[in-house]
Structure 1
Amino acid sequence: MQVSVESTSALERRMTVGVSVERIETEVNKRLQQTARRAKVPGFRPGKVPMSVIRQRYEDAARQEALGDLIQSTFYEAVVEQKLNPAGAPAVEPKSFEKGKDLEYVATFEVFPEFTVGGFESIAIERLQADVADADVDNMLEILRKQNTRFEVAERAAENGDQLNIDFVGKIDGEAFAGGSAKGTQLVLGSGRMIPGFEDALVGAKAGEERVINPTFPADYQNLDLAGKTAEFTVTVNSIAAPQLPELNDDFFALFGVKEGGLEGFRAEVRKNMERELRQAIKSKVKNQVMDGLLAANPIEVPKALISNEVNRLRVQAVQQFGGNLKPEQLPAELFEEQAKRRVVLGLVVAEVVKQCELKPDDARVREMIQEMASAYQEPEQVVAWYYKNDQQMNEVRSVVLEEQVVDTVLQKANVTDKAVSYEEAVKPVEAPQAA
């Protein structure tokens, strides 16, 4: 087997492979002999068909099969011999494909980039420091009460926060428009569910009252036919219900699985959950900064094949998340290319950190992470046992732990600044950058 390799770009390789005619004929003959043992040809007993007849009937198919298998096997042999690491399937183009002659083909493919990760010292990290104060727990109790608000019929004028049952008919220039009418709709005033001005105009209304209001659709409204236009809505208020916050009592605590300990026991459980959320939020923000820093300090070119594969994965995820009748391939690739490239680069960089620093998942940290996740459930011991019986889930946890070890490795050399903040600021999600 003869092999030559040409670099056509930083990552693309053009490999020419020559396979001797003797090797080809050996493979063809193997297949013909196998065929001869089972072929059924009229006038001959199975296994007794002359090879000349077998060759006449089956040689073309045997040769095609042999050539396909030879290209596959010799490509693998060649990349091993040349110490190449293909990043995807090759595009194969035969150069010489004639019977009785050597086979020669060209395989064009991309290879994984070879690089060394560095620049940890240039990465700046702001690590937040926060505690869960009593006031934070008080605030969380109020949030939980509001999330469990009940509404009771009120014999008074509507106020912000009330839930109204309404019928409405909307018109523009005297003509009803699609989606502008409904009956029996439940609307909480002040929720911002309707277009600006709609809910405000119903404050002070009473049950049984009909009001005509004239709100204006925003200029950036998703329906361009309505954007910027003023509508006339005739609204009938069927009923008004006032919000009733639940009392902090045993019945309320039981909704969250706390059946003993009273208020203090419930506060302790809420605080424990908030502290877990706080740890995760701080850890996540540090990790994001480390990953951003690794990307900035280690710009690398990545194979287009890997980006394309990641784009396809993101397409499938998008269809699964949003449903509908779309097929993944109908979603434009450019919607996912930037995210796909970031994922691919990060995957390669993180893998190289693991390799260079000889990192392996720490078993103690794996168990600690599983126990942390299990603590959010009613019977944590069963959750821990389930993880240890599920190889796929265990591998996912090990991957997360390994990423955390990568973060720790970078933090040992990075420029880390601690910043004291409130609980609210620490757990607040980082806003995504606005597109230019």
Structure 2
Amino acid sequence: MNISREQVDALNAVVTVAISKKDYADNVEKVLADYRKNANIPGFRKGQVPMSLIQKQYGKAVLVDEVNKLLQTSLNDYLVEEKLDILGNPLPKITEDFNWDKDDFTFEFELGLAPEFSVDLAAKSKVTKFEIEADDKMLNEQVERIQKQYGKMIPQDKVSEDDNIRGTFTNEEKGINNSTVITLDIFNDKKVAKKFIGKKVGDVVSLDTKGLFDDDHKLMDYLKVDHDDVHGLDVEVAFTIEEINAIEKAELNQELFDKLFGEGVVTSIDEVKAKIKEDAEAQFAQQADQKFLNDVIENLIENTKFELPATFLKKWIQNVGENPLSIEQAEEEYAKSEKGLRYQLIENKIIADNNLQIQFEDLKSHTAELIKKQMAQFGQLNPSDEEVEGIVARVLSNQEEVKRLSEQVMSEKMLDLFKEKVNAKVKKVNYQEFIKEMYGE
């Protein structure tokens, strides 16, 4: 057998595999001998069927099967030995007049090769790393929210300015049907709030969504409208009042502090605010990190220049599925997947260049932290190491979970690397400013 490669250009090659009779003859003969031992053909005892008859009945199919097995094995071994970094899979070149009656065969395969390129993480970029601060306005609002949450609800016959109103927003055309609790200070226009004053349970208030809130994103919270639909949404919604309550705010005293944070953990309103600030900024940091990671990825895709074997990849996409695609369908699929493929190549390059590896201990530690957080949500604040380790072992026995968690660990390693090496501008913002930055508005 002989395998050779013709380099068409930097991104395309053709591999030729020449197979002669001596490469496959022994395997074909062995398989046919096994067929003969087990063949049940009328007029012959088992194992006594003439080989010529076996050859006539099964010879061609066995030959094709054994040649294909040999072909796949030898081609795969060649790609490994030559250390060829290919995209997709080798595509066989179709030969219209291929003849299986010959003794020697030649097969050709098209290859799409991964491009060579470099990734400069320290290059000048427009990426911004946001640091989100919980400002005084947010802290005061959170304290007031806590006072209302732990306060006393007093049912009311009519809506007054500071009441809590439970009801349902509806709009049949847009499929809006969301039950929620509102206060009148959420509306952007005081005229809208006045529509509610004096209303009773069962009354319906009609509202225009355009300009209803100071930030259109609040439509996502109160009406459960998708982000893509909130901007410029201009429909009429009905709010049906179902319950009206005045709130007698809870006192800011030690009893409330102990209920919130545990006995003696905080002893003053300043300490309460410090605790709220710490917890809020920890959550904000996760959101800021995710945006930073996404922005770095977008920046790398945009600024890391390399060519792809596009013609080959479109052809591969066209033929790789169970049902072949049309040229137009393959073009469309390639357009959808090109960006993802580019980042996959960039990511692999970064991982190799920086020797990023996932050790089993990394995976165990990451899984244990996730489990502890989940247990804390259900009130189990101090689980034993033995208990956590048992759950970790069960989780990591599932290969799908191992794959998912490995991706999370690698994402964290990439984030740490980007924080260290990417040339980003640091910008401090409050949460509302961050939301506007995040959505590009």
TM-score by length of 1: 0.66
Structure 1: segments with no counterpart, 5+ residues: 171-176, 311-331
Counterpart in the other structure of 1:322: none
Residue among 244, 255, 263 paired with 1:241? 244
User: Could you tell me which amino acid in structure 2 is paired with residue 360 of structure 1?
Assistant: Q
Q: How does 1:408-427 map to 2 (within 5 A)?
A: 408-419=416-427, 421-422=428-429, 424=431
User: Could you tell me which amino acid in structure 2 is paired with residue 242 of structure 1?
Assistant: N
* Counterpart check, 1:32 vs 2:39: no
Counterpart in the other structure of 1:277: 283
Shifted more, 392-401 versus 77-86: the winner is 392-401
Counterpart in the other structure of 1:76: 76
**Identity over aligned pairs, percent:** 19
Counterpart in the other structure of 2:15: 15
> How far did residue 52 of structure 1 move?
1.4
For the structure 1 residues 192 and 281, does the alpha-carbon distance in structure 2 shift closer, same or farther, using more than 3 Å as the test? closer
Q: How does 1:148-167 map to 2 (within 5 A)?
A: 153-157=155-159, 159=161, 162-163=164-165
**For the residues of structure 1 that align with 2:163 and 2:339, how far apart are their CA atoms?**
43
Counterpart in the other structure of 1:105: 107
What SS does the aligned partner of 2:106 have?
Answer: strand
**For the residues of structure 1 that align with 2:107 and 2:415, how far apart are their CA atoms?**
45
**For the residues of structure 2 that align with 1:17 and 1:280, how far apart are their CA atoms?**
53
Q: Is the 8 A contact 1:250 1:262 kept in 2?
A: no
User: Could you tell me which amino acid in structure 2 is paired with residue 34 of structure 1?
Assistant: D
**For the residues of structure 2 that align with 1:181 and 1:134, how far apart are their CA atoms?**
34
Deviations 1:3-30, CA, capped at 9 Å, x for gaps: 3434556534333322113324333223
> How far did residue 32 of structure 1 move?
0.9
**For the residues of structure 2 that align with 1:4 and 1:119, how far apart are their CA atoms?**
38
What SS does the aligned partner of 1:120 have?
Answer: coil
> How far did residue 126 of structure 1 move?
4.0
For the structure 1 residues 73 and 428, does the alpha-carbon distance in structure 2 shift closer, same or farther, using more than 3 Å as the test? same
**For the residues of structure 2 that align with 1:334 and 1:306, how far apart are their CA atoms?**
9
Q: Is the 8 A contact 2:291 2:438 kept in 1?
A: no
User: Could you tell me which amino acid in structure 1 is paired with residue 99 of structure 2?
Assistant: F
For the structure 1 residues 153 and 112, does the alpha-carbon distance in structure 2 shift closer, same or farther, using more than 3 Å as the test? same
TM-score by length of 2: 0.65
**For the residues of structure 1 that align with 2:108 and 2:316, how far apart are their CA atoms?**
23
What SS does the aligned partner of 1:87 have?
Answer: strand
**For the residues of structure 2 that align with 1:144 and 1:336, how far apart are their CA atoms?**
51
Q: Is the 8 A contact 2:362 2:409 kept in 1?
A: yes
**For the residues of structure 2 that align with 1:249 and 1:152, how far apart are their CA atoms?**
21
Counterpart in the other structure of 2:323: none
Q: How does 1:191-270 map to 2 (within 5 A)?
A: 202-207=195-200, 240-242=243-245, 244=247, 247=250, 260-261=263-264, 264=267, 267=272, 270=276
Deviations 1:28-61, CA, capped at 9 Å, x for gaps: 2232122122222223332222211211222232
**For the residues of structure 2 that align with 1:86 and 1:295, how far apart are their CA atoms?**
20
Deviations 1:112-134, CA, capped at 9 Å, x for gaps: 33333235233455444566677
User: Could you tell me which amino acid in structure 2 is paired with residue 92 of structure 1?
Assistant: P
**For the residues of structure 1 that align with 2:119 and 2:241, how far apart are their CA atoms?**
66
Counterpart in the other structure of 1:326: none
> How far did residue 372 of structure 1 move?
5.3
What SS does the aligned partner of 1:42 have?
Answer: coil
Q: Is the 8 A contact 1:290 1:410 kept in 2?
A: yes
**For the residues of structure 1 that align with 2:121 and 2:201, how far apart are their CA atoms?**
70
Counterpart in the other structure of 1:346: 343
User: Could you tell me which amino acid in structure 1 is paired with residue 306 of structure 2?
Assistant: I
For the structure 1 residues 166 and 92, does the alpha-carbon distance in structure 2 shift closer, same or farther, using more than 3 Å as the test? closer
Counterpart in the other structure of 1:317: none
Deviations 1:52-75, CA, capped at 9 Å, x for gaps: 121122223212322332332232
RMSD over equivalenced CA pairs, Å: 5.3
Structure 2: segments with no counterpart, 5+ residues: 211-224, 318-328
> How far did residue 426 of structure 1 move?
8.4
**For the residues of structure 1 that align with 2:129 and 2:184, how far apart are their CA atoms?**
37
> How far did residue 402 of structure 1 move?
4.2
What SS does the aligned partner of 1:106 have?
Answer: strand
Number of corresponding residues: 393
Q: Is the 8 A contact 1:90 1:108 kept in 2?
A: yes
For the structure 1 residues 251 and 70, does the alpha-carbon distance in structure 2 shift closer, same or farther, using more than 3 Å as the test? farther
**For the residues of structure 2 that align with 1:147 and 1:384, how far apart are their CA atoms?**
37
> How far did residue 242 of structure 1 move?
2.5
**For the residues of structure 2 that align with 1:335 and 1:149, how far apart are their CA atoms?**
57
Q: Is the 8 A contact 1:163 1:188 kept in 2?
A: yes
**For the residues of structure 2 that align with 1:351 and 1:39, how far apart are their CA atoms?**
52
> How far did residue 166 of structure 1 move?
8.3
Counterpart in the other structure of 2:391: 386
* Counterpart check, 1:431 vs 2:434: no
User: Could you tell me which amino acid in structure 1 is paired with residue 283 of structure 2?
Assistant: E
What SS does the aligned partner of 2:53 have?
Answer: helix
What SS does the aligned partner of 1:59 have?
Answer: helix
Counterpart in the other structure of 1:122: 124
**For the residues of structure 2 that align with 1:406 and 1:167, how far apart are their CA atoms?**
43
Q: Is the 8 A contact 2:132 2:281 kept in 1?
A: no
**For the residues of structure 2 that align with 1:47 and 1:255, how far apart are their CA atoms?**
86
Q: Is the 8 A contact 2:92 2:107 kept in 1?
A: yes
